[in-house]
Amino acid sequence: MAKLLQYLLLSDIDLATSIGLFLTLCAVYLLIRTLYRLFFHPLQHIPGPKLAAASHIVEFYYDVIKGGQFIFEIERWHRKYGPIVRINPRQIHISDPDYYDEIYAPSSKKRDKDPIFTAQFGAPESIIATVKHEHHRMRRSVMNSFFSKRSVMQLEPLIQEKIDLLAERFIEAKQSGMVLKLEYAYAALTADVISHYCYGKSEGYLDHHWPQNDIKDGLSGMGHFTHYFYFFPILASLTQKLPTRLLEKLDPAAKCFVDLQGRFIEASKRAIRKGPRVDERPSLFDALIDPSLPESERSVGRLSQEAMIVLGAGTETTANTLSIGSYHLIRNRPILLKLREEVKQVLPNLSSRATWVQLEQLPYLTAVINESLRIAIGSTMRSARVANEPISYKDYVIPAGTPVMTEHHFIFYNSDIFPQPEKFDPERWIKAAEQGNRLTKYQIAFSRGSRQCIGINMAYSELYLALAMFARRFDFEITGTTDEDLRFVRDYEVPCGPNGPWTVQARVKEVLAD
């Protein structure tokens, strides 16, 4: 279109006629494209609103103009059109919990990612943005052993050390009367653990940075840009290139985020110069610069982008789950007391320490964690999968190359599976197990299949160890946070409330004695 306009302007036709002809041709193009999408497109047989099938304007309006509302419009469409809906010209959303494993399939069924979705991250060399199945499998194989259960168990002394330090910060907060933002407190824990794992050194958020956390600031603050980046991915690259002073004036959170990226680039350069460490426990950086890997996989961009994504994902989602779980334990004292009594079985006194393996055997703690993961949702991003062959859903054949998705919210808040889904009820997991109903089939907080969150074992270790400490050693009281504040009303790829990202403010009421 740009070349056509240039040709018309340089021709002998007068300016008004050139512009008129250009606009006419644009209108004809849009008309033909609309007719094709509605009547001749391979997805024309999939139910859904015609305007959404014809254009991305509906998606843009609800997510960009109205601010993270498209997920709720999709929910309304499912009530009207059924479990399969064409949500835009090229994507399908399926609201059927029992079909989830077909979309997010194991490695035996190849599933690519949607390149339009991955472009928004501005990190094309990271594992989360790797489009092709085979390329993703190669990159993941390098990292798999690092995040295996065995490796995380070997790291457990470090995690326990950080949790003990967090407990010290809670004790100090009790002495000073400080009101804590629990998501920041837990983000200090998770960021210190994952940063040590990435490049062998903790960022120190539980030490000299406490209670500040620029990773959490950056991730929370950048949330409201996510939909802009999705529609205009070039903005993600431009943000990284703007002068620091200008960026700080435009948005301090964006400046925080870009500063972090700069730190990771410098850390990546140092790691590449030094080469893999042989005399210390290897870090993720050491694995990513292994000489056996192709040179293209050992670039500064590859290392820095992977570290940024791993640190962000490893910090925020687990911290949010811990924060939301803690909120509901504080609000529901009978649940907290029942959990405390169970935890005392393996932590009989305050100096006791229990391993992740020991804590996993506690059914009520496991139920509390499952319910915290469900209520907190995790990610709300529309992460589609693309099959290389046609797949079927009921009477519908979905053509090869079609991005298909199911968002966590549609499973975790499905009242047929989880009655009264807004209620925090760990007992539902206990009762289901007693009745032989495998409710864990619907525990998809970390996704499933070949693209399942690589940090699942680390997250579970942190959840078990941190919530056991919280329940065993402290009583908190909520200050200024209500159920309404934690209602999911906006989607910025993490669930947000009426006032933005979920925030839990609390004060340490009592430090428990043996």
Q: Indicate if the alpha-carbon torsion angle 190, 213, 497, 91 is positive or negative.
A: negative
Residue 269 lies in a domain: no
Quote the pLDDT of residue 286. 86
- Blockwise average pLDDT, block size 10, the chain, 514 residues: 56 67 84 96 98 97 97 98 98 98 95 94 92 96 92 94 97 96 96 89 87 82 86 85 74 74 83 76 84 90 90 92 98 98 95 96 98 96 96 97 98 97 98 92 96 96 98 97 96 92 96 88
DSSP 267-293: HHHHHHHH---SSS---HHHHHT-TTS
Do 418 and 336 share a structural domain? Answer: yes
pLDDT of residue 421: 97
CA gap 492, 67 in Å, rounded? 8
Q: Residues 293-302: contacts with CB within 8 Å, 24+ apart?
A: 293/142, 297/139, 297/142, 298/272, 299/125, 300/265, 300/268, 300/269, 300/272, 301/125, 302/125, 302/126
Residue 271 has a pLDDT of: 83
Number of Cβ within a 10 Å radius of residue 443:
16
Looking at the fold, whether 481 and 362 belong to one and the same domain comes out as yes
Residue 203 included in any domain: no
For every residue of 144-171, which 3-state class applies, written as one string? HHHHCHHHHHHCHHHHHHHHHHHHHHHH
pLDDT at 10: 56
Residues 315 and 169 in one domain: yes
CATH of the domain at 469: 1.10.630.10
Residue 108 belongs to domain spanning: 91-182+311-511
pLDDT number for residue 322: 98
Co-location of 407 and 475 in the same domain = yes
Do 97 and 14 belong together in one domain? no
Q: Does residue 484 share a domain with residue 359?
A: yes
Burial of 260-290, coded b for 16+ CB within 10 Å and e otherwise, reads: bbeebbebbeebbeeeeeeeeeebbbbebbe
Q: What is the pLDDT of residue 48?
A: 98
Query: How far is Cα 92 from Cα 490, in angstroms, rounded to an integer?
Result: 21
Report the C-alpha gap between 88 and 53 in whole angstroms. 5
Same structural domain, 321 and 416: yes
Number of folded domains in the chain?
Answer: 2
Is 496 marked within a binding site?
no
Q: Is residue 500 part of a domain?
A: yes
In a domain, 361, yes or no: yes
Residue 305 in tokens: 């982008």
User: What would the two tokens of residue 242 be?
Assistant: 């703007």
Q: Residues 52, 23: contact at Cβ < 8 Å?
A: no
Tokens 């999968």 found at: 385
| 35/96 same-domain check | no
Whats the size of the chain, residue-wise?
Answer: 514
Do 35 and 150 share a structural domain? no
d(CA 44, CA 245): 49
Give the pairing of strands 500-501 and 111-113: unpaired
For residues 92 and 398, the answer to whether their CB atoms sit within 8 Å is yes
- CB-CB contact of 470 with 182 (8 Å): no
In angstroms, rounded to a whole number, what is the distance separating the alpha carbons of residues 305 and 497?
Answer: 29
Query: Would you list the DSSP string of 222-269?
Result: HGGGHHHHHH-THHHHHHHHS-HHHHHHH-HHHHHHHHHHHHHHHHHH
Position 376 scores a pLDDT of 98
Among all chains, which residue has been given the structure tokens 């967090």? 166
For 26-46, the DSSP string reads HHHHHHHHHHIIIIISTTTTS
| Interior/surface letters 125-163, b for 16+ CB within 10 angstroms, e for the rest | bbbbbbbebeebeebbebbeebbeeeebeebeeebbebb
In this structure, are residues 509 and 394 in contact, taking their beta carbons and an 8 Å threshold?
no
Shared domain for 100 and 31, answered yes or no, is no
Shared-domain flag, residues 35 and 116: no
Q: N- to C-terminal Cα distance for the chain?
A: 74
Is the overall model pTM greater than 0.85, yes or no?
Answer: yes
Q: What are the CA-CA distances from residue 430 to residues 216, 321, 374, 408, 437 (Å)? A: 34, 20, 15, 21, 10
* Residues 6+ away with beta carbon under 8 Å from 315: 187, 190, 191, 194, 215, 216, 219
User: Does residue 17 share a domain with residue 158?
Assistant: no
Question: Does 116 reside within a domain?
Answer: yes
What strand order describes the sheet that includes 505-511?
Answer: 179-181, 505-511, 474-478
CA 468/CA 447 separation, integer angstroms: 25
222 within domain boundaries: no
Q: How far apart are CA 223 and CA 493, in angstroms?
A: 7
Which amino acid appears at position 445 of this protein? A
Residue 168 in any domain: the answer is yes
pLDDT on residue 391: 97
Helix (H, G, I), strand (E, B) or coil at 121: helix
Residue 82: inside a domain, yes or no? no
Instruction: For residues 304 and 216, give the distance between their C-alpha atoms in angstroms, rounded to a whole number.
Output: 18
Which of 242, 271, 236 is CA-nearest to residue 255? Answer: 242
Helix (H) or strand (E) holding 391: strand 391-393
